[in-house]
A and B are shown apart, each in its own frame.
Chain A
Amino acid sequence: MADEKTPIVQVKHLKQYFNIGKANEVKAVDDISFNIYKGETFGLVGESGSGKSTTGRSIIRLYNPTSGQILFEGDDISKIKNRSPRMKQFRQQMQMIFQDPYASLNPRMKVKDIIAEGLDINGLTKNDDERTQRVEELLDMVHLNPEHMSRYPYEFSGGQRQRIGIARALAVDPQFIIADEPISALDVSIQAQVVNLLQDIQKQRNLTYMFIAHDLSMVKYISDRIAVMYSGKIVELASSDEIYNNPLHPYTQSLLSAIPVPDPEVEKTRERIDFDHKKHFSDDQRLQEVQPGHFLYCNDEQATKYR
C-alpha cells in the first residue's frame, strides 16, 4: 500500500442508471463511494451484473454518470464535456485495459497503428520516425518483438493481444489505469504472465490500478485493497488481507467460501456458505467504517456490534 495516502480518485455517491423513467430502468451502480490512493492497486470484485464494469466505465467517462461526483486528483471530472480541453487532458491521465483481447483490437488495423492511436490523437509525436520509435519502446515494455508492429491482431495469441492492449493504454502515459477483467478471457497459464507484467509496469511507472475481476484468488494476489460489489452497491471494502481473513458481510463470506482450493482434503470438507439474495438489504443500511480501514454495508446497529 502507498505510504502517504493521497487519493488519486475519489468517488462520491456515484449513481449510474440506464433507461431512466422507463419500465426497464436499471440501477447499475447505486450510490457508491470510495477512494483510490496513489500507487495502490484497488481490486473490485463481484458477480456478473453487479455493476463493477459499469463503475469502471463511469469513472473513465464512457458513460455520463446519473449523479454523484468523481474527483480525479481533486478535480471533479464527472461533468466535464466531451471534446472540451479538460476532457482531452483527462483522457491522457486515465486509461483502460479491456476484458476481451479479441474484441479490444480493431481487426483491420496494424498493431503499430493500434498502439499509436493515442499518440496520434494527442499529437504526442512530431514525425513518423518518432512515432515508430515510441511504438517500439511500448512494444518492448510489454515484452513484444518490435517487428510485430506491421502485423494484424489476428496473428497474435490472446496473451500477446492483451499485451498490445496494455501498450495502447500506456502510450499516452497515464497515471491511473482501469483494468476491466484483463485476464478473465485468458488461458490460466497466460494469466500470471499478464498480471506480472502489469505489476512490473506499475512499479516502473508508479501507476495506480483499479483492477476489476471476479477471480478472487487473482484479485487477492494483485490488490492492496478490495471492494466487494453486489447489485450496484459496495457491500464491503477493506485491505485484501482483512477481506480474506475477516470477512464481515455475508455476501463476502459466501464469495470466499466458493473459492476452490487445489487440495482434495480441503475440497472434501469445504462448505459453501449460502447467501440469501432477498435478505441482508434494507433501507437503513449504508457503507460505514466498522474497523479502521474496513468498511461494511450495514445499518447502525450492526455497525456498533462489529465495533
Chain B
Amino acid sequence: MIRAFVTILVTFIASLVQAMPDIKTLTTPAGTPAWLVEDHNIPFVALELRFIGGTAIEPMEKRGVTQFMMGLLEEGSGDMDAQAFSIAKDNLAASFSYGSYADVLTVSAKFLTENQDQAIELLRQSLVDPRFDADAIERVRAQIESGIKSQAKDPSDIASAAFNAEAYPNHPYGSDDLGTLETIASVTAADIRQAHATGLTRNRVLVAAVGNITAVELGVLVDRLLQDLPVAGDIEMPTYVADALSAGVKVIDFPTPQSTILFGHAGIPRKDDDFFAAYLLNHILGGSGFESRLMSEVREKRGLTYGIGSFLASRRYGDLLLGQVATANNTVVDTIDVITEEWRKIADQGVTQAELDAAKKYLTGSYPLRFDGNGPIANILAGMQFQGLSPDYIQTRNDRVNAITREDIQRVARRLFQPEKLRFIVVGQPEGLE
C-alpha cells in the first residue's frame, strides 16, 4: 500500500497543473470572434457554432418553422440533392448535426484533418446555400408530423407540454419547438426561407473549436464557413417573463401502469448573484447521482421510483426549478407527499454543513472531469460564450463555488424553495387523485 500512496501524491500534483485546457480567443481576419483549444493528439477537429435567437424568434403562427428549416439543411444545397449531399459527407467521413432550441440554434461538426477543407466547404454549402426543394420539404414535413403525433403519446412529452403551457401562456417557452399539426401544415417554402434568413446570421454567431488546428488555420476556416451568411437586421427578441404557474396537482389521464410526474415552480436567473448557492442547493436536493435527498427519500428508503431528480431550468427569458419522477399509479400520492415534505424541510431548515461540504467537493471535483475530449470541450466552450462568461471562468469557477457560505445557502434556500407554490403535473392513472 505504500507504493500506492506515493503514486497518489505524484499524480495529484500533476493533475493540478494540467487540469484545465488552455483557451485561446481570436478574431478571424473578417472579424468573427472564436475560441480555440489546440490539441494535436488526434487528427480531427470538433467545431461548434451557436446562433443566438433560436426558435423563440419565429412567428408563433408558424411555430416549428425554424426546426423545419434546420431539418432541411442536409436535404439538398448548392447543386446537390439530399442523396448527393449524403454521399459527399460519407466520402469525407465528416459528421454534421443541426439542433434547434428556444434560445439558440446549434451546428456541431467533426471532421478529419486530412480533408478539412472539403468538409468545411460542404458544411458551408449546407448553411449558406440550402435549396429547400419542394419534395424535400414534403418529406421532412411528414417526418415532423409523425414526431408531433409521437409526442402526443409520450407521457414525458405530455407532461412537459402541459407544464410549459401553464408556466408560459403568452411566450414562446409555452409551446414546443416542433410546432403543432396546424402550424406545420401551414408552413410554406417562403416561410422556411425567411426562417433561414433570420435564424442563421453572421452577426449572431458564436464559434468554438477544439482539436488539431492552429489559430491562424481556424481564422481562415471560420471566415470561409461564415462569410456568405447574411447579417441580421434588428429582430424582436422575446422578453423576460415570470412564470404563471399556480400551486396544486393536475392529472392528465393516460393509460399506463406508472405515472410520470413533473413538478416545480419559479427558479433563478443564471446571472443572479445567488445562482451558485441555488446550484449547490439543487444538487443537495435532487442533483445527479445517488446522493441527493430526493433519491435517498423516494428511492433508497421507500422504493417508490427508479429515478428522481431536480434541476434549474434557467433560460434567457425565464427560469424554473423543475423535477421529474415516475412511480406506480398507486404510489403517486405518497410520492407527492414525500417531495412536498422535502421541499418544506429544505426551505425551513436549509442544509447541514456536512451536506454543503459534500456538495462543494462533488461540484468542484467533477468540474475538471468534464473536459475530457475534443467534442465535450468544444461544447463547453460554446456554452460558456452563450452564457456570456469569459475564458478565465474555468479557472475561477471552483473558487466561486467554494466561496458560498452556509449563511448564503440558508438565505437562498428560503428564497428558492416555496412548498406552497409547488405545481405537479401527473400523466397516468394515479389512484387517490382527482
Q: Do A and B bind each other?
A: no
A interface, CB within 8 angstroms of B? none
